[in-house]
Chain A
């Protein structure tokens, strides 16, 4: 693979090519999230969480999807159960989130140990940071539960997972990697795309569905 002179220069300065690639991928993932929100209407937990989850999934490679989704689902499930238990105590926000985070991390630890017992060490050998990213998802989830209710939080979590998985496939798509390493300037096109997304006033695809009864009636 031939690198663009700029990328070659970066790597000569000692920046690992993988880091350069991931940093250049971030605008792409962010644009993907923005597109999903504005045009399709899939909300997810803001833009930060799905982007991070995307990269966390990548970090779980080679079994990124399998382990990543498993951890994601565990975090959400444990978060939901904890909320259910803590609800009656009427605790203040931060202590409540602290308890949730603690329980989630203990649960993850348990999962790693159980995985190890069944000779599935692939999960345990993963670096700690993607795990931590996944665990912080719990805070976002709890906050949403409080503001919008469990159902909404569950839907948003599912949407986050969907976007992250699509982002995962996009980032691990060989053609895109080659394109960015050979022509890094294509990244600038995300600005153009985001600018037009920022001015987009059309209906979101989910809204066509949501208001279908009105449309039929008009």
Chain B
């Protein structure tokens, strides 16, 4: 019981959110930007942050009367400026083909909505009138309607999404991304990425941008997209670092100290900022199965001057848990396809280089120049002088070959290479390799790799204690 209350200290509740984070950090100016989508768009655009392009806006009835609907593109989204919770948004996907003259008769215009139903210019006008009258704005104040470019669904998200566009909510405090979740629209949420209405929230590991745990709606833990066997964990979100950078920049330009940024990914344009929230909800803690308060406390005193630094801090502090988990489970270390390795040669000579982790190669090989640096110059020279240019396999018997190799000092083994030039021998030396903190002795062959990108490739023989994450 005591344990329970102790752990609960990590959680951010409404009281603390309002009193300790929103009140002191989100002043009126920032709130104004967050509550006004058009103003927000303008400010973000001025600061070169991606947004979905504004097509047109309609502020009153006169503008509506004089608006030329034929100038609208084939697909667009119609939104109320001060709408909330995704209410009052109409998205059209294509212009209806004018097979016959449809009703209305003013130029013949109709569009197709997500569910396949058509919407005519008269329907649009009616909806815009409702927006202007404030039917969708908080406390019914008169509002502005605007058209913006429709975002296109990323292929990666397609199987996970019911209509609509998924978005990524990131909480940023003190220029540090603190927590993030991917919100997937479902049938229950009617294509809206809103958890209150039944969308899926998936936690994101900040270091890698890979999804972790997931909730459906207000707090039902799930592992798969309902009705399918599609796992929700392990989705790798593209443009992750870009998304983090954008959210941090959005915080600096909006003057919202405690910000919930909503970012969507467009198929063609990459990440775009949808909305800024001055009062981000707390369900993100459920999606991540992690407490916000504890995270916020850890970064509250830091002085962070640049976006890059803020991103690093966030990634280092609030990520990497997936890897740790996998490492714990498998007892193996997770490494990337390119990894920094340390080579230790004779007389403890050390070199640190980038190596290619190559599961297609059987054994490990290093560049000749590296081998020389590691103190094996003598070996290589002797080997060259005795072996170079000779076809040993034909010239000598097995015993003679062994004797020849035996005279070369420090030669651990030889490696037979079959190429178009016939068969040749490469020298193999014994060094020690350290990858991701794990050291082991390794026999490596020396080859001229000076024209290749990486001076070292690590082959299967030396990868038994590792798992390779190609995204890393």
Contacts and interface: CB of A to CB of B under 8 A. Distances in A.
A208 B130 CA distance: 40
B19 A92 contact: no
B280 to A, nearest CB: 15
A217 B219 CA distance: 14
Contacts of A41: 14
B181 to A, nearest CB: 13
Which of A94, A200, A218 has most chain B Cβ within 10 Å? A218
B455 interface: no
Interface string B107-135: 00000000000000000001000100111
B138 A215 contact: no
Counting chain A residues whose Cβ lies within 8 A of the other chain, the interface size class is 20 to 34
Nearest to A90: B130
A211 B19 contact: no
B140 A93 contact: yes
B225 to A, nearest CB: 19
A215 B7 contact: yes
Contact of A214 (B134, B135, B289): B289
Contact of A90 (B135, B289, B291): B135
B219 to A, nearest CB: 6
Contacts of A218: 7, 10, 289-291
A211 B138 contact: no
Contacts of A145: none
Given A93-B134, A215-B8, A204 B13 contact: yes
B286 interface: yes
Contact of A210 (B15, B197, B219, B290): B219
B11 interface: yes
A202 B11 CA distance: 9
Nearest to B127: A90
B97 to A, nearest CB: 28
A92 B134 CA distance: 8
A217 B289 contact: yes
Contact of A203 (B8, B85, B290): B8
B435 interface: no
B4 A215 contact: yes
A88 interface: no
A54 to B, nearest CB: 24
Interface in B289-334: 289-291
A61 interface: no
Contacts of A149: 197
Nearest to B13: A203
Contacts of A200: 15
B166 to A, nearest CB: 21
B190 to A, nearest CB: 11
Interface string A190-218: 00000000011111100110110111011
A12 interface: no
A38 B15 contact: yes
Interface string B6-27: 0110110111100110000000
Contacts of B130: 90
Nearest to A39: B15
A154 to B, nearest CB: 14
A207 B289 contact: no
A153 to B, nearest CB: 13
A211 B15 contact: no
Contacts of A204: 13-15
A55 to B, nearest CB: 26
Nearest to B213: A217
Contacts of B134: 93
A44 to B, nearest CB: 14
Given A211-B286, A214-B289, A202 B140 contact: no
B219 A202 contact: no
A3 to B, nearest CB: 39
Contact of B286 (A152, A203, A214): A214
Contacts of B133: 92
B19 A207 contact: no
A213 B4 CA distance: 11
A201 B135 contact: no
A202 B13 CA distance: 7
Given A92-B133, A199-B19, A207 B286 contact: no
A213 B14 contact: no
Enumerate the 3 nearest inter-chain pairs by beta-carbon distance, A residue then B residue, closest first: A203-B13, A201-B16, A217-B289
Interface of B: 4, 7-8, 10-11, 13-16, 19-20, 84-85, 126, 130, 133-135, 138, 140, 196-197, 218-219, 221, 282, 285-286, 289-291
16 contacts: A41-B14, A92-B133, A147-B84, A147-B85, A201-B13, A204-B14, A204-B15, A207-B13, A208-B4, A208-B8, A211-B282, A214-B286, A214-B290, A215-B4, A217-B289, A218-B7
Given A147-B138, A201-B19, A207-B14, 18 more contacts: A38-B15, A92-B133, A93-B134, A93-B135, A199-B19, A201-B15, A201-B20, A202-B13, A202-B15, A202-B16, A203-B8, A203-B13, A207-B13, A213-B219, A213-B286, A213-B289, A214-B286, A218-B289
